[in-house]
Amino acid sequence: MSVDFTADGLDRLVVDLGKAGRKVTLGSAKVMAVGARKIRDGMREDFTGHAHAPAIPRAVDYTVTGLAFEVGVNKNGPQGALGNLLAFGSSNNAAVVDHTAAMRRELPSLQRYLADVAEDALG
């Protein structure tokens, strides 16, 4: 028993995928930038309302390296040095902020939009 198949159209697919790569990169960068801003805003909300660190939400920001976004408390920002204490606690005081919550809230949307970008690029 054998299976016959043909490579007709494969050259065209290779070209399409080549073009898609650029579209995916550009589209992903936009999606990631929007996602990073939403995570930053969500993290600012999560860090809001703490009596001893009223200014710390303004220290939450993000940095960009290619398609990698790092969102967190900037130690050089207002009351930024308190970020670790709020997020990780100490030897006998519990953390008061779940600094990963904003990221996890945004992740499903981020994944959906990135999938849309890939689909559109191949469309």
- Write out the residues near another protein by the rule CB under 8 A: 84-85, 87-95, 98-101, 104
The amino acid at 83: G
Go through 88-112 and write b for each residue having 16 or more CB atoms within 10 A of its CB, e for each that does not.
eeeeeeeeebebeebbeebeeebee
Shortest reach from residue 90's CB to another protein, in Å: 5
Shortest reach from residue 36's CB to another protein, in Å: 17
**Closer residue to another protein in complex, CB, 7/94:** 94
Shortest reach from residue 80's CB to another protein, in Å: 15
Distance CA 70, CA 63 (A): 5
**Closer residue to another protein in complex, CB, 65/92:** 92
- For residue 66, which of 104, 39, 26 has the smallest C-alpha distance? 26
**Closer residue to another protein in complex, CB, 64/88:** 88
